[in-house]
C-alpha cells in the first residue's frame, strides 16, 4: 500500500488497489474517509472538500455548515469570549459574525429571538471594546436556554444555505443514518419544469452539520461516495 500526504496534512490518499482510492478528509471540524470513484480526485478547500471528475464538469462537495446543537453554539461563544478576554477582540467579532443564527437551528421562536438579540449586541460591538463591557452579555448568551431543533427542519434549509435559489423546490426528504450518525437526504428540482434534480445529504456529526451535495450530478458517484462514508470518532468531539 502506498501513501501520499499533502503538505498541510489535511488530505491523505491511500491507494487501495485497481484504481479505487480511499481519501481521509478534514472539512472544518469534520474528519471522515470516503472511497473516491475511479477517474475522480479530491481537492481540499478548508471548510469545503470537492470530489471532482477528471473528464467531466461533475463534482460532489462537502461543506461544514457549523453548529446545529446547543452545545456547539455554546462552544463557539466560549471560544469568542476567550479571544476577547485575551485582547483579540477582532478575531472574536469575526467568529461571532460568522455564527449561523438562523431560525431553523432553534427549536422555539422565543429561544431564537432571545439568543439572536444577545448575539446582535455582541456582534455589533465596536472593535476595541474592553472585555469588561461585554462580559455580562457573553455570560447571558452562554447561559441562554436552548433546545435542539428537529433535524428535518435544519436539513430543509440547507439547499438555500448552499446557494440554491427560489427557482427550486423540495421534491423529497428522507431520514438516513451514516453509521451512528443521523442524516437526512434531500432532493430538489425546478418548480415549474421538474427537471434538473439536485441531491444533498445532511449529516449531524456530533453537534455540527456536514452537507454533501452534488453539482452537475452523477447519481451513481454520489450514491457510491455516500455509501462509503466513515467518520473518525474525533470529529464528534
CATH superfamily of 3-66+155-236: Mog1/PsbP, alpha/beta/alpha sandwich (3.40.1000.10)
Q: Give CA separation, 188 vs 81, 115, 198, in Å.
A: 39, 31, 5
Parts of the chain belonging to CATH 3.40.1000.10: 3-66+155-236
Please check whether residue 211 is in contact with residue 28, taking contact to mean a CB–CB distance below 8 angstroms.
no
Please check whether residue 9 is in contact with residue 20, taking contact to mean a CB–CB distance below 8 angstroms.
no
pLDDT tens string 135-160: 999 999 999 999 999 999 999 999 99
CA–CA separation, 62 and 54 (whole Å): 18
Please check whether residue 115 is in contact with residue 101, taking contact to mean a CB–CB distance below 8 angstroms.
yes
- H/E run at residue 33: strand 30-36
pLDDT tens string 170-223: 999 999 999 999 999 999 999 999 999 899 999 999 999 999 999 778 889 999
Amino acid at each position: 500500500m502506498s501513501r501520499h500526504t499533502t503538505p498541510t496534512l489535511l488530505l491523505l490518499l491511500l491507494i487501495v488497489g485497481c484504481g479505487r482510492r480511499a481519501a481521509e478528509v478534514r472539512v472544518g471540524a469534520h474528519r471522515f474517509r470516503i472511497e473516491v470513484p475511479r477517474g475522480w480526485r479530491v481537492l481540499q478547500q478548508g471548510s469545503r472538500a470537492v470530489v471532482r471528475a477528471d473528464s467531466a464538469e461533475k463534482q460532489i462537495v462537502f461543506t461544514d455548515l457549523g453548529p446545529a446543537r446547543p452545545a456547539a453554539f455554546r462552544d463557539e461563544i466560549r471560544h469568542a469570549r476567550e479571544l476577547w478576554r485575551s485582547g483579540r477582540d477582532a478575531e472574536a467579532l469575526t467568529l461571532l459574525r460568522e455564527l449561523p443564527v438562523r431560525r431553523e437551528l432553534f427549536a422555539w421562536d422565543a429561544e431564537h429571538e432571545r439568543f439572536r438579540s444577545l448575539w446582535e449586541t455582541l456582534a455589533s460591538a465596536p472593535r476595541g471594546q474592553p472585555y469588561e463591557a461585554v462580559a455580562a452579555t457573553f455570560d447571558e448568551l452562554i447561559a441562554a436556554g436552548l433546545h435542539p431543533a428537529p433535524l428535518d427542519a435544519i436539513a430543509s434549509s440547507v439547499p438555500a444555505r448552499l446557494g440554491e435559489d427560489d427557482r427550486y423546490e423540495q421534491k423529497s426528504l428522507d431520514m438516513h443514518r451514516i453509521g451512528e450518525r443521523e442524516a437526512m437526504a434531500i432532493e430538489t428540482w425546478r418548480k415549474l419544469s421538474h427537471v434538473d434534480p439536485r441531491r444533498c445529504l445532511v449529516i449531524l456529526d456530533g453537534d455540527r452539520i456536514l452537507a454533501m451535495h452534488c453539482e452537475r450530478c452523477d447519481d451513481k458517484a454520489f450514491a457510491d461516495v455516500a455509501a462509503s462514508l466513515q467518520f473518525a470518532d474525533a470529529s464528534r468531539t
